[in-house]
Amino acid sequence: MRITDIEVHLICPPYCDFNALQLARYHGAWIQRRAIYVVHTDDGLEGLGESIGHGPDVDVLREKYIATSPFDWLNDESNLAMNMACYDLMGKKLGLPAWKLIGPQYRAWIPVAAWTVAQQPQAMAEEVRQAAAKGYHWIKYHVDEMQDVIAQTEAMQQAAAPYFKVHYDFNANSNYYTMRPILNELLKFPIAGRFEDVVLGTDEDAYRMLREQCPLPIIGHHVPREAMSKRYVDGTMAGHAPIGNAVKDAAVAERMNMPLMYQQTGGTINQAFLAHEVAVFKMARIDHVNGCHLWSDDVVKEKMPVVDGSVAVPNGPGLGVELDREKLARWTDTSPVDKGRFLIRIRSAGGPTAYVRHDPEPAGSADNLRFHERLHGQSIPGRPASYANPLTSEFWDAKKDPKHFEDLWQATADGPMWKEER
């Protein structure tokens, strides 16, 4: 079996309505767009893969993969989307589910978590309600330095069922003395479940002290691999890892007897591949994230519903999902959410209100996860960012007061402005 051609289709299926505008204004179109890979072989099989963003250089892909066998790419460490397609093809060729090409199965269902972006407290409460309605027991989000995580948690707690938990990702950019009181406050809420990247990944002493003082798990993502061997985290997260890297992380985690989670981004094709991986990784016990719940439609015929916080590992050959060509055509070359004109309004209790324009897709940007980083180095008055300041940050547009918005839009043309407001 040899690869004969690679199709790449750029799609932009719609987000779910309730938070579509928030996602678009926070991240831009980058994560709404996806590239669907359809890899053909000389025996008539098709393998499926996907990635997010604007898609790959197809000529480079073809030069690398055409005339090779999918079996040449077992445990490949270079391209996650092509991993999916090759394991799909190998499984279809042998009549086996993809997990059988990775290792023995430890679980037939994998635990999963929803994912979202930081928002105002009541919007976070709605995220919890929506995630629970879809069958999730966990939601993960990147805590934003320009939001009040305590206020967010109070709102989420009021909306949550007793079983529901939050996974907080603190972005690995703080220190022990800032984070200890914040964790102490969050521990008062039953909904608090685990904390990721609480301090700088290289601050081993801070991690050890926080672990001694915190009864909830502390997970490391942006930490060196020896964090597992030195055991200064309670578990680790492997992000967007090609299969070869994922296997290595799983092996180290098993050797260290340390729980592990995987995080990827994509739709059902990605979710299926993630399920096959996690099915065989013994220590992959922490709820895994892929974000497929963000879109209201997809391009495969199968669905992977979340049942009691988990999804079933597909049993069919390969990935166990089949391309729906009609839906693929429907969502090809469609447009992302229209973000419209908007400002970020940052209100501080006892301080000024700041207004600033924001481009979620600046040139050269690779990670637009946080307000503070995304304000392009502009000086914003008020308290230093600390996650728990009494701040309310929101996307603000012309709907409620068009004239006021227009005045502020003109005033922020050259940078942020601030004013005293009640």
Q: 289 and 218: one domain?
A: yes
Q: 134 and 258: one domain?
A: yes
Domain CATH code at residue 30: 3.30.390.10
H helices of 240-365, in order, are 243-256, 268-280, 325-331
Last residue of a domain, one of 42, 64, 95: 95
Tell me, yes or no, whether 330 lies in a domain: no
Last residue of a domain, one of 47, 64, 95: 95
Domain residues for the domain of 204 are: 109-319
Q: 89 and 114: one domain?
A: no
In tens, the pLDDT along 275-332 reads 999 999 999 999 999 999 999 999 999 999 999 999 999 999 999 999 999 999 999 9
Q: What is the dihedral of CA 292, 294, 295, 301, to 10 degrees?
A: 20
In tens, the pLDDT along 76-101 reads 999 999 999 999 999 999 999 999 99
Tell me, yes or no, whether 254 lies in a domain: yes
Tell me, yes or no, whether 183 lies in a domain: yes
In tens, the pLDDT along 20-40 reads 999 999 888 888 999 999 999
pLDDT of residue 376: 44
For residue 128, what are its two tokens? 């919890």
Q: 237 and 121: one domain?
A: yes
Q: Is the pLDDT of residue 388 over 70?
A: yes
Interatomic CA distance for residues 39 and 82, integer angstroms: 8
Interatomic CA distance for residues 15 and 403, integer angstroms: 30
In tens, the pLDDT along 137-185 reads 999 999 988 889 999 999 999 999 999 999 999 988 889 999 999 999 9
DSSP state of 267: S
Tell me, yes or no, whether 25 lies in a domain: yes
Tell me, yes or no, whether 192 lies in a domain: yes
Q: 47 and 193: one domain?
A: no
Q: 136 and 234: one domain?
A: yes
Q: Which residues of 330-345 are buried (b: 16+ CB within 10 A; e: fewer)?
A: ebeeeebbebeebbbb
Q: 131 and 9: one domain?
A: no
Which percentage of the chain shows pLDDT scores above 90?
80
Q: 216 and 302: one domain?
A: yes
Contact between residue 112 and residue 136 where contact means Cβ atoms under 8 Å apart: yes
Tell me, yes or no, whether 332 lies in a domain: no
Q: Model confidence at 380, in pLDDT bands (50, 70, 90)?
A: low
Higher pLDDT, 220 or 372: 220
pLDDT of residue 114: 98
Interatomic CA distance for residues 135 and 132, integer angstroms: 5
Q: 90 and 200: one domain?
A: no
Count of domains for the chain: 3
Last residue of a domain, one of 95, 123, 144: 95
Cα–Cα distance list, 304 to 82, 100, 134, 310 (Å): 21, 19, 11, 10
Which percentage of the chain shows pLDDT scores above 70?
94
Domain CATH code at residue 124: 3.20.20.120
In tens, the pLDDT along 199-213 reads 999 999 999 999 999
Q: 178 and 297: one domain?
A: yes
Tell me, yes or no, whether 311 lies in a domain: yes
The pLDDT of 258-269, averaged and rounded, is: 97
Tell me, yes or no, whether 102 lies in a domain: no
Contact between residue 170 and residue 195 where contact means Cβ atoms under 8 Å apart: yes
pLDDT of residue 382: 58
Q: 206 and 313: one domain?
A: yes
pLDDT of residue 226: 87
Q: 89 and 238: one domain?
A: no
